[in-house]
Chain A
Amino acid sequence: MSPGEAPLPARFYPAGGDAHGHPARLAWDGGMLLVQPEDSPALRVPASQLRIEPRGFNHSQWAIAWAGEEGATHTHLLIVDDARIAPLRAAAPALFAAGDTTRRHSHRRFRVGIVLLAAIPLAFVGALLLSVEPLAERLVDHIPPGVEQQIGEAVLAHTRAAGPMITEGPAFDALQAIGKRLARPGEVLHFHLAARPELNAFAAPGGIVVVHSALMAGAGSAEEVAGVLAHEIAHVELRHSLRQIVKSAGLRIILTGLSGDYAPLGGWAAQLGELKFSRDAERAADARGLERLKEARIDPMGMLRFFETLAVNTPSGPALLSTHPATAERIDSLKAAIAAAPGAPAQSIGIDWEPVKNDLNGPPGK
């Protein structure tokens, strides 16, 4: 044994010996591995005869094997803990090269596998999220009008619960008159006026359009309100709100399904008033709305004026703008559309707007 080298503890399993093995100590001795079993004579094995490979739980051990004297069928075996192997490895790094590679590979395989295992559920969730939209699109086409009506009623109930509604007076009458003018023959549309301070209007499934009082008060004429209404009716016509509701509900069903807690599902209908549509949906609604205005022979410039009022005069960002993005772009395309097809000459709606404004700006509840 070369001096200064601490003997390594190991377990020695001699060829043909019992299963228990014997405690032994190891050291390098000039190109030979010195094996010093506690209860038998020491052995010297030339380094060239040794086969070293990782072994055991998580490759936490090293197996050092060499052929026994009695023939190739039996081998001697040493088991050394990885934590103790450093002196041997330092003395003969070449013997450990293959084993180290094996260990590295197995550990890398494990890491890759774990990442994949984690990725599978994530990919599953991702696929679900991606499939919500197409599924919702399909579903929307199959929702019967009765169900649509019910959803619309639920949204309306939520709006009613959130604040007072105005059901009479000049403003209400004006809204109904404009609505009647816009409606096509046989079309059932319901217009509701909510006493709310935000400049907003929204469409719910089942032909329901809710207008906030502040919008009517802020408009300069009946034509401006007609523009907004035409746009919202177009949302109803295109079933945008229904589509959006199904999408958000679909997402919720998946999310609640994942969490296993179905309680939040009951609350989803409550948030439908704050739906946001995509820009494409807004653009489509603008175009449809414009068509409707022309059909009703209402001056489309009112719609344009109101959008411009919204964009210019309200720097604080009214609700209608925040839910209807890129107003400037929409104003431009609206202008272009009006210029391209002027349509039949407009007839005034014929509502004196001042009393309406005064009605709304008076004491609340009137």
Chain B
Amino acid sequence: MAMDIVDYEIFGNEMQYVEVELDPGEAAIGEAGVMMYMQDGIAMDTLFGDGSQQQSGLFGKLMGAGKRLLTGESLFTTVYHNESSGKRRVAFAAPYPGKIVPVDLSQLGGTLICQKDSFLAAAKGVSLGIAFQKKLGVGLFGGEGFIMQKLEGDGMAFIHAGGTLLEKTLAPGETLRVDTGCVVAFQPSVDFDIQYAGKIKTALFGGEGLFFATLRGPGRIWLQSLPLSRLADRIVMASRMAGGGGKESGSLLGGIGLGSLLGDDE
């Protein structure tokens, strides 16, 4: 099935959205709940599964939906179909601070392995599968869990990552040690493994955990500077509920919450 070619534009700096231009008859799929706006003439349809192909029968559909459930995506994807006679635009917004990465799967050999939850939108025809991490240690300690997402096809896909994004091409044999949780996506030719931090002292007090994730080339990798879970941890730690806001409670400004803006920036 030929992929729909999509023109796109990404807006914003730290909280981005991507606007996709659909030619007449073209379609894009979006993760449920990320659509920001769409122009007249775009019809929205909700599919059970990923809509990559006419999955054979109920069983195929259930399989597709089951995969999405495992990767932490919602069961349904939404297809945005341009039914007008002119070009129309639809926009998808990232759900948390970070960057949207446009990925042209045809440039990557057709397959990309990415962190679950990172999928945002794609040209219709890109298939969303799961890639089960088959290295036990990596699944347990690699920071990405056992279930990763596999995007297949040769169209554009948009994935989303937290913080600032690093895109890097690793030469054959080149290895990068990465904090667990910072890996967003990589080509399947990249070896994803873990490495023991080496010293108990470092592991316990270095703040980086027991293991690093290691990525060995060749292939392209994408790293995020701020995994959502880390951001969430910090927010919870700083919240008044968790007792993090205790420092300001004596200040004059504490009562109106300005104290937390001015003070404690940990």
| A-to-B contact residues, CB < 8 Å | 9, 11, 13, 18-21, 55-61, 75, 77, 79, 81, 106-107, 109-110, 113-114, 117
Contact of A58 among B134, B171, B219 (CB under 8 A): B134
Q: Kindly list chain B residues whose C-beta atoms are within 8 Å of the C-beta of A81.
A: 109, 111, 188
What separation, in Å, do the CA atoms of A77 and B132 have in the docked complex? 26
Q: Is the interface of A mostly helix, strand, loop or mixed?
A: mixed
Contact with A along B103-115 (1 / 0, CB 8 A): 0000001010100
Question: Other than the known A21-B218, A81-B188, A117-B136, what 9 A-B pairs have Cβ atoms closer than 8 Å?
Answer: A19-B169, A19-B172, A55-B189, A56-B190, A56-B191, A57-B191, A60-B188, A61-B189, A106-B135
Contact of B170 among A11, A19, A106, A107 (CB under 8 A): A19
Q: Is the interface of B mostly helix, strand, loop or mixed?
A: loop
Q: Kindly list chain A residues whose C-beta atoms are within 8 Å of the C-beta of B170.
A: 19
**13 pairs from A and B in contact (CB 8 Å cutoff):** A19-B172, A20-B169, A21-B172, A56-B187, A56-B191, A56-B219, A58-B132, A58-B134, A79-B218, A106-B134, A110-B136, A113-B136, A114-B136
Task: Let me know if A58 and B218 touch, CB within 8 A.
Answer: no
What separation, in Å, do the CA atoms of A102 and B132 have in the docked complex? 18
| A61, closest chain B residue (CB) | B189
Task: Let me know if B189 and A56 touch, CB within 8 A.
Answer: yes
- Decide if B225 is an interface residue (CB 8 Å cutoff): no
Task: Let me know if A57 and B172 touch, CB within 8 A.
Answer: no
A58-B131 in contact given A11-B218, A19-B218 (Cβ < 8 Å): yes
Task: Let me know if A57 and B171 touch, CB within 8 A.
Answer: no
What separation, in Å, do the CA atoms of A75 and B191 have in the docked complex? 18
Q: Kindly list chain B residues whose C-beta atoms are within 8 Å of the C-beta of A60.
A: 188
What separation, in Å, do the CA atoms of A60 and B133 have in the docked complex? 11
Within 101-159 of B, Cβ neighbours of A (below 8 Å) are at 109, 111, 113, 131-136
Task: Let me know if A57 and B218 touch, CB within 8 A.
Answer: no
Task: Let me know if A79 and B171 touch, CB within 8 A.
Answer: no
A11-B134 in contact given A18-B171, A81-B111 (Cβ < 8 Å): no
- Decide if B186 is an interface residue (CB 8 Å cutoff): yes
Task: Let me know if B133 and A58 touch, CB within 8 A.
Answer: yes
Task: Let me know if B189 and A109 touch, CB within 8 A.
Answer: no
Contact of B172 among A59, A77, A113 (CB under 8 A): A77
What separation, in Å, do the CA atoms of A113 and B111 have in the docked complex? 27
How close is A109's CB to chain B, nearest CB, in angstroms? 7
What separation, in Å, do the CA atoms of A67 and B189 have in the docked complex? 20
What separation, in Å, do the CA atoms of A109 and B169 have in the docked complex? 30
| B-to-A contact residues, CB < 8 Å | 109, 111, 113, 131-136, 169-172, 174, 186-192, 217-219
Task: Let me know if B135 and A110 touch, CB within 8 A.
Answer: yes
Q: Kindly list chain A residues whose C-beta atoms are within 8 Å of the C-beta of B189.
A: 11, 55-57, 61, 79
Q: Kindly list chain A residues whose C-beta atoms are within 8 Å of the C-beta of B218.
A: 11, 13, 19, 21, 77, 79
| A113, closest chain B residue (CB) | B136
How close is B245's CB to chain A, nearest CB, in angstroms? 29
What separation, in Å, do the CA atoms of A75 and B171 have in the docked complex? 12
Q: Kindly list chain B residues whose C-beta atoms are within 8 Å of the C-beta of A61.
A: 188-189
What separation, in Å, do the CA atoms of A79 and B186 have in the docked complex? 15
What separation, in Å, do the CA atoms of A56 and B133 have in the docked complex? 11
Task: Let me know if B134 and A107 touch, CB within 8 A.
Answer: yes
A57-B131 in contact given A19-B217, A110-B136 (Cβ < 8 Å): yes
How close is B190's CB to chain A, nearest CB, in angstroms? 6
How close is B29's CB to chain A, nearest CB, in angstroms? 23
A55-B134 in contact given A13-B218, A77-B172, A77-B218 (Cβ < 8 Å): no
What separation, in Å, do the CA atoms of A191 and B171 have in the docked complex? 87
Q: Kindly list chain A residues whose C-beta atoms are within 8 Å of the C-beta of B188.
A: 56-58, 60-61, 81
Q: Kindly list chain B residues whose C-beta atoms are within 8 Å of the C-beta of A117.
A: 136
Q: Which 9 A-B pairs have the closest CB atoms?
A: A19-B171, A113-B136, A19-B169, A79-B189, A56-B189, A110-B134, A58-B134, A77-B172, A57-B188
A11-B190 in contact given A19-B170, A110-B134, A110-B135 (Cβ < 8 Å): no
What separation, in Å, do the CA atoms of A246 and B188 have in the docked complex? 56
With most chain B CB atoms within 10 A of its CB, the pick from A21, A57, A114 is: A57
Q: Kindly list chain B residues whose C-beta atoms are within 8 Å of the C-beta of A77.
A: 172, 218
What separation, in Å, do the CA atoms of A113 and B134 have in the docked complex? 10
How close is B54's CB to chain A, nearest CB, in angstroms? 21
Contact of B190 among A57, A59, A75 (CB under 8 A): A57
What separation, in Å, do the CA atoms of A56 and B135 have in the docked complex? 11
How close is B107's CB to chain A, nearest CB, in angstroms? 10
| B170, closest chain A residue (CB) | A19
How close is A7's CB to chain B, nearest CB, in angstroms? 15
Q: Kindly list chain B residues whose C-beta atoms are within 8 Å of the C-beta of A109.
A: 136
What separation, in Å, do the CA atoms of A11 and B189 have in the docked complex? 10
What separation, in Å, do the CA atoms of A308 and B171 have in the docked complex? 89
What separation, in Å, do the CA atoms of A113 and B140 have in the docked complex? 11
What separation, in Å, do the CA atoms of A117 and B140 have in the docked complex? 10
